[in-house]
Structure formats: C-alpha cells, structure tokens
Amino acid sequence: MAPRHPYVGLPDYQFWDQQPGSEGGPFFDPVVEVSFGIDLDEPVVTAGSCFAQTLAHALKRSGFNLLVTEKPHPLLTVDLLQDHHYGLFSARYGNIYTTRQLKQLLQRAYGLFEPRETQWEGRSGWLVDPFRPQIQPDGFINAADLEKSRETHLAAVRQAVEQLSLFVFTLGLTEAWVDRRDGAVFPLAPGVAGGVYDETRFAFVNFDFASVVADLQWSLDFIRAKNPASKFVLTVSPVQIKATYEKRHVSVASSYSKSLLRVAADAVSRANRRCDYFPSYEMVTSSLSQGRTYRGDRRTVRGDVVRHVISIFMKHYAGIELPKPANAAAAARKGRNSNDSGQAGKKQRRANTRGDKHLKEMGEALDVLCDEESITDH
Amino acid sequence: MVKAKSDRPGRLPAFDTPARTYPEAPVRRPVLIVGGSHTLAVRNGLSREQRPHIAIINLRQPKFASLFDEEVPTPALARAFQPKGVISMIGGNTHHAYGLFEHPEPYDFVAPENSALAEGRRTIIPYAAMLAMMRVSLARHCTAISALKSLFSCPVYQILAPPPICDVRFLLEEPGTFGERAQYGLAPVSLRLKLFNLQNRVFRSHCEELGMPVIEPPAEALDAEGCLLPQFADPDGTHANSDYGHLLVPRILETNHGA
C-alpha cells in the first residue's frame, strides 16, 4: 500500500522533533553518511580560516596524520614554532579566508600567477608578505629573506598538494581586498598588518556565489589533476566575521557571508565525487546546540565543542568512537529542565568550562592566531 | 693552513689566585671586568704596568661563586669592588654553538648584511626565526648583563666577543672537546659571520635598552671579511689570544677616563 504522504517512513534524522541530536544537548551528531573513509595514517592537509587552524590542531591531537611539508629546522625550539606558524597548517600559508585566495595560492605555487605586489612594509619597518602578512612576528628583514622564504613555502605547498590523501578546506569569508591591477587577493586589507591602504591600487570585493563556487571547483580540479586519488572535505567556519566593509551591521554581513559559503560548499560537494560537506558549521550554530558553543566573545568556538566536532569526524570517517564530552549528558538534562539563561544554566556553563582538565588544555592549545584579530577601527 | 698561536710573552696562568671569601675590604682597582672565557685574552694581554688598574672576574670560576647566583652578578659583587668603570665580557661564544661546525641538517639564512647563501642543500631559515632563537639562547647572558648594570652607579660597558676565525680546519684534524660534533665538517665562513653578527645584534639591542655603550672588536684585528686575523686567534679556534687582549686594554682603560 502506498504511504499516506511522502514523509511517512523516513528516518528520524529527517525530522526536527525526532532527530537523535535533540538528546545530546549541545553535542549532537548531524552526520548521516560519508562518501569515503580515512585511515589514520593517511596524509591530511588542512587550509582555510581561523577555524581551520583549530581543526588542524584538533585533528593532529586526535591521531590523524596531519601532513606538514614546511617543517621547522630542528634549531627552532617548540615555543617559537606557533609564533612563526610552523605546523599550524601543512605549510606556512596562514589563514586562507576566501576560495579565490586558495585558487591563487595554488596558481602561485605552480607558477601560473605572479602577483605584482610582492612585499609590504610592516609596522616594525621590516617587510611582510602581502599574502601571509602575519606569518612571523616582525616579518622579513629584507626582500631576499622574504623571497627565499616564499620559495621554500611554495615548494612546500606543491609537496602538500602532491602528497595529500585528504584535503580539508574551511571556507571562511566572502569579503576580501584585491589588487586592481591583477586581481591578486589578500588575506588582510592593506594597512592592517603591513602595506599602505591606497584606494587607487586596492579594491574591496565581496565575492558572489558564482565566483566562490567557480574558484573552489577550480582548486578541486587542480588538486585532482596533480593528485587524482585525493579526497575532499569542505567545512564552513562558524566563527563570525570580525569586521565588514559593507555598509551594514556586522551580524548581517556575517550571516550573508556564511550563508553563501554554506551553499557554495554544498553545491561543490554535490557536484564532485569523494568530496563531502562536513557539518561542523551546524554543530556549532544550530539552535540544537542550545547557544552553548561559543566562548564569551560570542564569536570563537569553545574547546569542548571543537573536540566534539573532531569526535564526530573521527567516528564517521575513521570509524573511531571517542568518549563523549564528560558533561554532555548532564548539560543535556539541564538544558531540558531549566531556562537556558537561568542560574542553573550559568552554573552548569561555569562547571563545564572550569572542571575538565582536557578542556583547559584544549582552550590553551586552541588559542590560535587569527589574522582578522588585527582589524580594528583605528 | 695556519694554526693560530698564542705567543704573547709573560702569559699568566689562568686564574690561579687563591679563593677569596667575600665580603672583605672592597677592591679598589679602577676598572672591573666581569665575563666568561673571553676575559682570558684581556688578562693575558695586560702589561705588568696595566695589571694594577684592572680587576678581572671570570664568573665561571668556582672561587668567585659567592659573587654570583647561577652566573648572574649579585650585590656581593658590588660590595667587593668599587670601580670607576665596569666592563662586561659576559657571553660571546653562542654563535660558535650555532655554527662553528655544520649542523647535521645544514642550514643558512639571509642576513641584512649578506643575502648570499652558502652552497649545498640547506634549509633556509627566515631571519626572524634565527633572531628569535638567538634571543632565547642569549637570554641568560642578557639577564646577567642587566644585573651587572644595575649593581653599579659608574659607567658599565659591554665588550663584544671576537669574531670567528676564518681558517679553523685544524679543528677537523684535532677536534678535541668538540668530538663528534665536528663530523659534519666546518660551517661556511659566511654563515659563521652571519651568526656572529646576529649575536651582536641581540647584545647591542639589549645594551641600548640598558643605556650601556658597546665596545666593538678592534678593527686592526680583523681581515677584510670581518674574521679574526690568525695572529690574534687562540689555538682553541673559538677565542682570541693575548695580543687581541692587548689591543683591547687601551679601550678598556679609556672607560675609566684615563685612570
């Protein structure tokens, strides 16, 4: 007998009231199926916005083989490595906020694009690389220092492309600043962390859907041409944008940007084999998470939430179940029994952030450097 | 290949005076020199007439241990000496630790004074990373220099260490205490000079913050590249000899305004 209507018999996860996530409080699992698996020893390359740094760090701590092709010389001590961006990503490209930036990084690495802008003067009087202006404190002592570092860096990018098994890319922004002469796109506006803002040379752009998709598809095709077996996971950063140049409220600009990126990630993942969209964005921003996923600044993601995101990633792609965050069940119960903004909720939130040693360590470890933090109104 | 010799007549045995107990009556020599192994060149370079004017304290010597806390000068040093000028020769051989011999993973870096890179397959380290590392390595020396400066109200100067010795191939034949560290060969002279300059950059910057004048290596002891001339080199390959020390003495005494 035919069902009464098309929704009859569909899985629970397709219904808001029945989806299993509602039992898990802020730690729900929205992943239904993945198109491939990953062995822990497969080389993983990550790139993207600040949240990609967070993911990279968490993946490494969880036992994944984060491929690092731009390695520090053994002389450099561990406490210097983060400041100099060693090991935060596979190579020292820093944060890649836009899909155009990713495309141009690949083009530059393979000699397909040579931007006219090669160096900016930094605040300290040293030079900075316009395409990774905060890659090391103070920048570079002279043009030769910068150029040698860039050569090393772009060689490491090529190695990463050709050796990776999985590429995890986190889409972060649609807004960017470009060179009017050749379209080179910068991660930060000129003047923020180096260079001089000159309206005649630099222009603001807010990439539209077609551009974002086209650039992402180009990058995927390019990597596959170099490395046919490569697999892709696309995510969207749940970190709200720090500032907008559009004449609109920053929350509206952020919503627009994230929405566009979310749809673009979906479009590209649907159009390509072995290319998944992984819903870390939803795990953080959905109302199912009960508003408990951001830190006090309501912009950056809490360490235990990142850990949960990674545990879901491991569960579905590597078949490894990690223990649930210690307070998940209790938080879920509290969430059902008390007002979210009430005293009980506050106490629980304090307990969640104070008691767990792992949480504390993750919080410290995840204190990532984010280029966007440099943007101020002065 | 020239093996450097230290042949200054009248060379003194190294710090053979009996151990002292401080505090005692303050030593009233006009100039006090505090430092490590590089003080030996000055000590051996002093003429008989100059000796009464300069007191030299090697902070590594156990007999002076009561004046230092883990090589950082303490107020006991200021109680023991009442000089009119103080010279720091603290630190100075760290550049050798970085690059007298090749590192197992050879490296080089672009420096402000020299962008050329040595031949061979090398990791190129950004200058900022090298500088940061050197700052870390010299931090304990800088702490000691700061402490020394704070202890005395008279002028305090820093003498920069002698530069690398260009030809030290004899170290490969007789590595002595360097042992297996010499197995990868000598580092290129260009790299050794860059490391020396990097070290000096850190010391200069630190001394500038403290308001301490810096005394540079005597130009007459250097070759065209900036290396230490063989006739001023100690046989150990990392220090200067008494002749170099002798060149420094007039500059040292000038710090006492002719005393």
Secondary structure class of B165 (helix, strand, coil): strand
Once rounded to an integer, what is the mean pLDDT over residues B177-198?
91
Query: Touching check for A76 and chain B: CB below 8 Å?
Result: yes
Q: pLDDT (tens digit, 9 = 90+) per residue, B45-54? A: 999 999 999 9
- Given a cut of 70, is residue A376 above it in pLDDT? no
- Given a cut of 60, is residue A377 above it in pLDDT? no
Once rounded to an integer, what is the mean pLDDT over residues B201-218?
97
- Given a cut of 50, is residue A328 above it in pLDDT? no
- Given a cut of 90, is residue A32 above it in pLDDT? yes
* Cross-chain Cβ contact B127/A141 below 8 Å: yes
- Given a cut of 70, is residue A337 above it in pLDDT? no
Q: Which residues does chain A have within 8 Å of residue B112's beta carbon, measured at their own beta carbons?
A: 141-142
Q: pLDDT (tens digit, 9 = 90+) per residue, B79-132? A: 999 999 999 999 999 999 999 999 999 999 999 999 999 999 999 999 999 999
The per-residue pLDDT for B177 is 77
- Given a cut of 50, is residue A355 above it in pLDDT? no
* Cross-chain Cβ contact A80/B132 below 8 Å: yes
- Given a cut of 90, is residue A160 above it in pLDDT? yes
In what helix (H) or strand (E) does residue B68 lie, and over which residues does it extend? strand B68-69
The per-residue pLDDT for B12 is 44
Tell me how far apart the alpha carbons of residues A234 and A335 are, in angstroms, rounded to a whole number.
Answer: 30
Using CA atoms, how far residue A244 sits from A175, A297, A325, A376, B246, in Å, is: 8, 17, 35, 11, 66
The per-residue pLDDT for A348 is 36
Query: Touching check for A139 and chain B: CB below 8 Å?
Result: yes
The per-residue pLDDT for B102 is 92
The per-residue pLDDT for A25 is 64
The per-residue pLDDT for B257 is 60
B68-69 and B72-73: which strand pairing?
antiparallel
Least confident span in A2-6, A35-39, A358-362:
A358-362
The per-residue pLDDT for A361 is 31
Once rounded to an integer, what is the mean pLDDT over residues A18-39?
82
The per-residue pLDDT for A213 is 98
B34 or A17: which leads in pLDDT: B34
Select from A79, A80, A148 the Cβ nearest to the Cβ of B124: A148
Report the percent of chain A where pLDDT is more than 70: 84
Q: What is the mean pLDDT of chain B?
A: 88
Q: Which amino acid, one-letter code, is at B254?
A: E
Query: Touching check for A84 and chain B: CB below 8 Å?
Result: yes
A295 or A205: which leads in pLDDT: A205
Estimate to the nearest angstrom the gap between the alpha carbon of A317 and the chain centroid. Answer: 18
Query: Touching check for B129 and chain A: CB below 8 Å?
Result: yes
Q: pLDDT (tens digit, 9 = 90+) per residue, A227-268? A: 999 999 999 999 989 999 999 999 999 999 999 999 999 999
Using CA atoms, how far residue B7 sits from A29, B41, B48, in Å, is: 80, 12, 16
Once rounded to an integer, what is the mean pLDDT over residues A78-87?
90
* Cross-chain Cβ contact A139/B128 below 8 Å: yes
Nearest CA to CA, how far is B110 from chain A (Å)? Answer: 5
| ipTM given for this complex | 0.84
A260 CB contacts (<8 Å, ≥6 apart)? A174, A208, A209, A212
Are B218 and B252 in contact, with CB atoms under 8 Å apart? no
Once rounded to an integer, what is the mean pLDDT over residues A108-118?
98
pTM score: 0.84
Residue A318's CB is within 10 A of a number of other CB atoms, namely 16
For A128, nearest residue in chain B (alpha carbons):
B128
Q: pLDDT (tens digit, 9 = 90+) per residue, A7-21? A: 999 998 899 888 776
- Given a cut of 60, is residue A346 above it in pLDDT? no
Are B58 and B81 in contact, with CB atoms under 8 Å apart? no
End-to-end CA distance of chain B: 42
Strand partners, B153: none
The per-residue pLDDT for A349 is 36
A193 or B177: which leads in pLDDT: A193
- Given a cut of 90, is residue A278 above it in pLDDT? yes
- Given a cut of 80, is residue B17 above it in pLDDT? no
- Given a cut of 60, is residue A31 above it in pLDDT? yes
Q: What is the mean pLDDT of chain A?
A: 85
Residue B10's CB is within 10 A of a number of other CB atoms, namely 10
